[in-house]
Chains A and B, each alone.
Chain A
Amino acid sequence: MLAWTAWDTGADPARFARGVPWIVDFLRRMLPPDLRVLPAALVGAIKTLEIALLGTAVAAVLALPLGFLSARNVAAPPVFHPARAALNFFRSVDTLVYALVFVAAVGLGPFPGVLAVVAYTTTSLAKLYSEAIEGIERGPVDAITATGATRLQVLRFGVLPQVLPLFLSYVLYRLETNIRAATVLGFVGAGGIGFYLQTYLRMIDYPAASTVLLVTVLMVMVVDAVSSRLRARLV
């Protein structure tokens, strides 16, 4: 099977080897980075951060009702099954594909980027939320029910305290992956640092492109470090 895929994709070590000098040349031409474009790169980086932050925050909230509706131990089967199916369907579409759709719908710029992040993250977080909800301890839920609490109070006092730390850690994790995803949204016109990268590459201005790349890498590393430190505190 693998051999066939290798043949079908034209995978060929010799062909790769012939490409290596070209890659080396490409890297050489990227150096030294052209720091004059640093301000532009930083503006792009901030846009990317904004897209990821806003998109993730909105999705974190929108995913709440969806998460509960697609948890087997909370929702009734007639609700749970369609909700779960819808999640699985929409979750299989990537952020970049959503971006193409939203750019066509609302035009160029960071806004379709935000929409794309919201669309993907809502369903993916809802899935994670629902799994967390399904993993809760039954005991505290029984205890809260026995006090005469309403269904909503049972969710608020029996379920939420058990799952909230998990939810927050999933949101942070999604924020990390969304920042990475948002760096390429600019390629399809959905704003952020990817737009600058693509522009400089098109202009064959490799030193400028390398500055943008460096800023991207640094941004992702900083966000990852901060976020994973926060996550470690949660659990």
Chain B
Amino acid sequence: MIEVAGLRVVLPPDVVAVDGVDLVIRPGEFVVILGRSGAGKTTFLRALNRLVEPTAGDVRVGGRAVTGADPATLRALRRQIGMVFQQFNLVRRASVLDNVLAGRLGWAPALPTLFGHFPAEDRRIALECLAQVGLADFAQRRADTLSGGEQQRVAIARALAQSPAVILADEPTASLDPALTGSIMDLLKTIRARRGLTLVVSQHQLETALAYATRVVGFRQGRVVFDGPPAALSPAVASTIYAEEPRRSPQGGHP
């Protein structure tokens, strides 16, 4: 589903955030990317759909090259890749439904959408996705009137509305009350089961990773230091993932 070869991302001024990652993610996997703060999880996920431009290496999704794709191809590929963010990233002043409808932008005819018009079929899909995350009654509410947990559900509905093959979720529970972590992870799990989606979720919580993942990929300083089923993640390996160590670059703001 996702093939990553020799991926390297250097962020200005000279932070090596992803340092030569090779990874093949098969359809239907629930991959949890585990790593401490600054390990490069966010940068890795954002490089997969080129929200961050990779410095070197190849990314393929569904067999098609993301790296080097022209703008139209890149958009067609992005549309297959739903993305969920730590900060939800909803348009606060827009309604919940409008936020979810944005997930249809890659599919609906472009010109009418600029005037706010979406085909009835796209509206139907958006409402259905909203129902799937349990927020059917919230369609007309302004996004910023929802609680954090609800907003993240809306964001998941937006990603689902893309009818994606993959969902990338960057620490989807990190800015939520710990009590909500389970409900959001459960929702992702249910969606994966129902739709046969591939999930790549970053986490810094070990327990959550072990509870949900079919496969854990441990990141440390931009490199993969563990790759295997949760059962194979021994305490010794876990401690290498989390061990304290100064960054190679003095600019790498994390202590």
Interface on A for B, CB 8 Å cutoff?
A: 137, 139-140, 142-150, 152-153, 156-158, 161-162, 165
Residues of chain B contacted by A149 (CB below 8 angstroms): 75, 102, 105-106
Query: What count of chain B residues pass the 8 Å CB interface test?
Result: 32
Q: A147-B105, A149-B106, A161-B94 are in contact. List 17 more A-B contacts (CB 8 A).
A: A137-B89, A142-B83, A142-B89, A143-B89, A143-B90, A144-B91, A146-B78, A148-B76, A148-B79, A148-B105, A149-B105, A152-B114, A153-B113, A153-B114, A156-B113, A157-B91, A161-B91
The reply to whether A145 and B78 form a contact with Cβ atoms under 8 Å apart is: yes
Instruction: Determine the distance from Cα of A152 to Cα of B82 in the docked complex, in whole angstroms.
Output: 20
Residues of chain A contacted by B79 (CB below 8 angstroms): 147-148
The reply to whether B93 and A161 form a contact with Cβ atoms under 8 Å apart is: yes
Most buried by A among B92, B93, B102, B110: B102
A147-B155 contact given A153-B113, A162-B93, CB 8 Å threshold: no
The reply to whether B114 and A143 form a contact with Cβ atoms under 8 Å apart is: no
Interface on B for A, CB 8 Å cutoff?
A: 49, 51, 75-83, 85, 87-94, 98, 102-106, 110, 113-114, 155, 158, 162
Residues of chain B contacted by A148 (CB below 8 angstroms): 75-80, 105-106, 162
The reply to whether B110 and A143 form a contact with Cβ atoms under 8 Å apart is: no
The reply to whether B105 and A157 form a contact with Cβ atoms under 8 Å apart is: yes
How close is A225's CB to chain B, nearest CB, in angstroms? 26
Identify which of A139, A156, A157 contacts B85 (C-beta below 8 A): A139
The reply to whether B105 and A153 form a contact with Cβ atoms under 8 Å apart is: yes
Residues of chain B contacted by A150 (CB below 8 angstroms): 75, 105, 110
Identify which of B77, B80, B85, B94 contacts A142 (C-beta below 8 A): B85
How close is B115's CB to chain A, nearest CB, in angstroms? 9
The reply to whether A146 and B93 form a contact with Cβ atoms under 8 Å apart is: no
A147-B91 contact given A153-B114, A156-B114, CB 8 Å threshold: no
Identify which of B91, B98, B104, B113 contacts A162 (C-beta below 8 A): B91
How close is A140's CB to chain B, nearest CB, in angstroms? 5
* Between-chain CB contacts (< 8 Å), 8 pairs: A137-B89, A139-B88, A140-B90, A142-B83, A143-B158, A148-B162, A150-B110, A165-B93
Of chain A, the residue at the smallest CB distance from B155 is: A143
The reply to whether A153 and B83 form a contact with Cβ atoms under 8 Å apart is: no
A147-B78 contact given A152-B110, A153-B110, A161-B94, CB 8 Å threshold: yes
Residues of chain B contacted by A165 (CB below 8 angstroms): 93
Of chain B, the residue at the smallest CB distance from A165 is: B93
Residues of chain B contacted by A158 (CB below 8 angstroms): 91
How close is B92's CB to chain A, nearest CB, in angstroms? 8
How close is B105's CB to chain A, nearest CB, in angstroms? 4
How close is B161's CB to chain A, nearest CB, in angstroms? 8
Instruction: Determine the distance from Cα of A135 to Cα of B18 in the docked complex, in whole angstroms.
Output: 29
Instruction: Determine the distance from Cα of A117 to Cα of B60 in the docked complex, in whole angstroms.
Output: 54
How close is B87's CB to chain A, nearest CB, in angstroms? 5
How close is A224's CB to chain B, nearest CB, in angstroms? 26
